[in-house]
Each structure stands twice: as structure tokens, then as C-alpha cells.
Amino acid sequence: MALLNEYYVPGLHVSEYAIDVPLDWDGHEPGMGFDGETIRLFYRVVCAPEHVNDRLPLLVFLQGGPGGAAPRPLSPDSDGWVAEAIKHFRVVLPDQRGTGRSSHIDSHTVANMDGRQAAEYLKKFLAGPIVRDFEHLRRTEFDGERWVTLGQSYGGFLTLTYLSLFPQSLIASFTTGGIPHVPASAREVYEHTFPRMQTKTEQFYARYPLDTKRVGCVADILRSTDVTLPNGDPFTVERLQTLGSSFGMKPAFERVHWLFDEAFLDGDGSANSDSPLADEFLFDAMTATYSNPLYWPLQEFIYADGDLDAPIDWAADHVYGSLPQFSTDARPLLFTGEAIFPWMFEQERALRPFRAAMDVLMQDTHFGVIYNVNQLAANTVPLNSAVYFDDLYVDSGLQLDTLSRIGNSHYWVTNEFEHDGVHGGIVFRHLFDEARDRGDLHELF
């Protein structure tokens, strides 16, 4: 492997590499030669400084998302699972294709494509190609050494794809908040998500009653006045509702509470419909489209597996429209969660170039097969999963239903953590200890 860079951050040794992979894996086999257009796959390997010269086993991290780059750790404790993992493993942190330093995609990438070209291009950045990239990396750069996977959120979806396509490559797999329902259905997901989002909003208002009036007042101002965000996007009530998208992670209630604490330029912080909205509030209210541009275009298509019976056709928007309590006129105003809507690709400048592709994809019914139900049922690779009982984004009941049909699967159900529990110091340690003590890692430790 060609080393690009090597350095230390506090408590970690970091080395950086990149390889070429096919843009289109059709007709190609991981580990073999290929022709046609290529893209770059960037990855880091991190380990504890005291283990730089030790040949520890490999753990590859499957990042959540979609469209998420691998973590950029500030220290072992800045992403809590890393501190535990480097005690036992060399940790491989690949940036999934299209993210981070792996042939990064944003609005400029699709700006000069027509809708069908862009749609076909974006389909090459879903689970099947991502997992084939990683398998190619394992075979070519790590001498085919079998590895352990840790998948967070969407990384759990990738885990089931890996177990479906290349189970012989894995020693064991861990997932945290990331077991998809198989068979997959985007509409089913949102039928579970929106009621939980209503509950989360009600819990937020119960904890911070003043914010009920503040949020409602901001919504009324947006309905009666044209307000523009600092990046030039219109600030609408629909966009205001998306500020609850992080309610499945701690301490999101507090972050949103303090955001509205300084929403009004005039007065003492109470709801004030006669006050302009403060510049700082408008800046902080901008959603994170720019930092994760692939997340929104790909969001509903992570549920597409093979040939669909019907197009996805804006699944979240259909569910949202069937629930009058989520109306922009309703008070108290309910927040929305991890969902995409057609208006995003009209109102948000960073997403507008994707709109033509979205129109095509939302009517498409042909996607790559990402799950092999027979292979999963016969699975022998130890699968160890943390299932968060109150998970806002990935329904715990649907996770457990899938796990009940996967061979050699084990799960830990807890309501102690939210969806991002792995980023603390407890969840991965708990899963690792259970797997080790059960003998799932006997060939390593």
C-alpha cells in the first residue's frame, strides 16, 4: 500500500492511504483487475502509539449516514469506541465513496448532468458498491486478511450487505443502532419514525415549556415574513421543523433549547413576534446540508433492495402529509426527524442541482440487490448488535424482527443510550466483552 501521510494525534498513530476502485462494479470482482472509469477510495489506519510495530488484528469501521465520511478522531476518547478498539485492533477508517477524501461528491458534481445521468451516477454510491470497495481494499491492501466490522447506524445496513455478499471475509461483526428491516421498505420506516418524532417533540416541550411559545412564535414570523438565511436560502416553517432532526441523540434537547434562547433580537428572550430574528439564530438554524451533501439525496434509497414492487416516490413526504398534527399551521409546532422532502431540493441551494436526479430516482424501481435473505438465515459469522429500545431513527422492533431471522446473531437491548451511544465509552466495550466471553473472537484473542 502506498503511504500518503503518517503522523500522531494525541493518543493515536495515524497513517493515510488511497487506492483506485471502479466507479461501476458491474462486471468486476473485488481483488481483481478492472477497466473503465475509476474513483479514489481514501482510508486511514489508526492504532495506539505503543502498538505501531505490532501486528494486531483488523477492525474496519462502517460509518453511518448515508454519505458520511469516517471519523476524524481528536484523541482516542473523542469518539469513545476508538479508545476501546485500539486496545485490541488496528482500526481501518475508510471514507465511503463520494465522501471525505474519497472522490467527494457535492452539488458541483451533478450540476452539469441531466436528471437521468445524475440518477444513474448516484446509484453507484449505495451499499453494494460501498461494500465491494471495502472488500477490494481488504483483498489488495491487507493481503486478504479477514477482519472484524463495526457498523454504526447506516453502517449496520452495510454490515448486512457484507454478510450477504462476502461472509467468508469476516471474523465477526458488531452493529450499533443499525439493523435494517429486511425486507426493506422506506414507507414502513417513516410510518414508525413520525409517531416517535411527535413523542420526542412533546418530551422536548415538557422539559422546556417556554420553548413551546418560542418555536410557535418563530413559525408565525416565518409564515408572515420573508426571512432569508445567511446562505441565501429562504427560511420556511418546513425548514424550521427539521431542527428536530437530531432529537434522537444527546444532548439535542439542550442544543435546540439554547438555539431558541437567543432567537429574538429584541427583548429578554421571551417569545416576541414584533422582534426580528437574530442573525446568530439564523446562522445556527441553517441545516447541515453543506457538511454532508450526499446524506439527503441518498436518504430514502438506502431502503431500496433489488427490483421494487413500486417506486419509493417520496415516502417520508407521503407519511408526513397523512398526519395533520405535523402541519406547519399546527401549534404547538411538531419537529420532523431524519426525513427528506421535495421542498428541500427547491429551497436549499446546495441541494437544487440534485433535484432532476431525485425526480428520476423517486420513480425508479431497479436497484442493486444488497441483502441475501437465504445467506443471512444461514449466517455463521457472529453478529453482535446493540439495539436502542427508544431509537428515533431505526425502530427497535423492526431491528429485532430482522435479527430473529439472521443466523448466529446476538443482541443487547437497552434504553440507556440514544442512537449515537457508540460515541461514548460503554457500548462497544460491552459488545466486545460479550463477544469475547462467548467465544466469538476465539481465533483472535
Window from 67-76, 283-292, 316-325 with minimum mean pLDDT: 283-292
- Report how far apart the first and last C-alpha atoms of the chain are (Å, whole number): 27
Side by side, the strands of the sheet bearing 383-388 are 3-9, 12-22, 38-47, 90-94, 58-62, 147-152, 170-176, 383-388, 409-414
Question: In what helix (H) or strand (E) does residue 283 lie, and over which residues does it extend?
Answer: helix 279-285
Write out the E strands in 78-191.
90-94, 147-152, 170-176
- Give the CATH number of domain 3-182+371-438: 3.40.50.1820
Q: What is the pLDDT of residue 286?
A: 84
Is pLDDT of 291 > 90? no
Alpha helices in 355-423 (DSSP H): 355-361, 373-377, 396-403
Cα–Cα nearest to 58, from 95, 16, 86: 86
Is pLDDT of 134 > 70? yes
In tens, the pLDDT along 137-181 reads 999 999 999 999 999 999 999 999 999 999 999 999 999 999 999
Percent of the chain scoring above 90 in pLDDT: 96
**Burial class of residue 115, CB neighbours in 10 A (0-12, 13-18, 19+):** middle
Is pLDDT of 352 > 90? yes
Is pLDDT of 1 > 80? no
Q: How many Å apart are CA 222 and CA 238, to the nearest integer?
A: 10
Cα–Cα nearest to 40, from 90, 120, 99: 99
Q: What is the pLDDT of residue 290?
A: 63
Is pLDDT of 289 > 70? no
Cβ atoms within 10 Å, residue 372 = 18
Helix 252-261 to helix 186-207 angle (10° resolution) is 60
In which band, very low, low, confident or very high, does the pLDDT at 2 lie, cut at 50, 70 and 90?
Answer: confident
Instruction: Map out the domains of the chain as residue ranges.
Output: 3-182+371-438, 186-361
In tens, the pLDDT along 95-118 reads 999 999 999 999 999 999 999 999
In tens, the pLDDT along 171-224 reads 999 999 999 999 999 999 999 999 999 999 999 999 999 999 999 999 999 999
In which band, very low, low, confident or very high, does the pLDDT at 293 lie, cut at 50, 70 and 90?
Answer: confident
**Rg of the chain (C-alpha set):** 22
Q: How many Å apart are CA 365 and CA 377, to the nearest integer?
A: 25
Q: What is the mean pLDDT of the chain?
A: 96
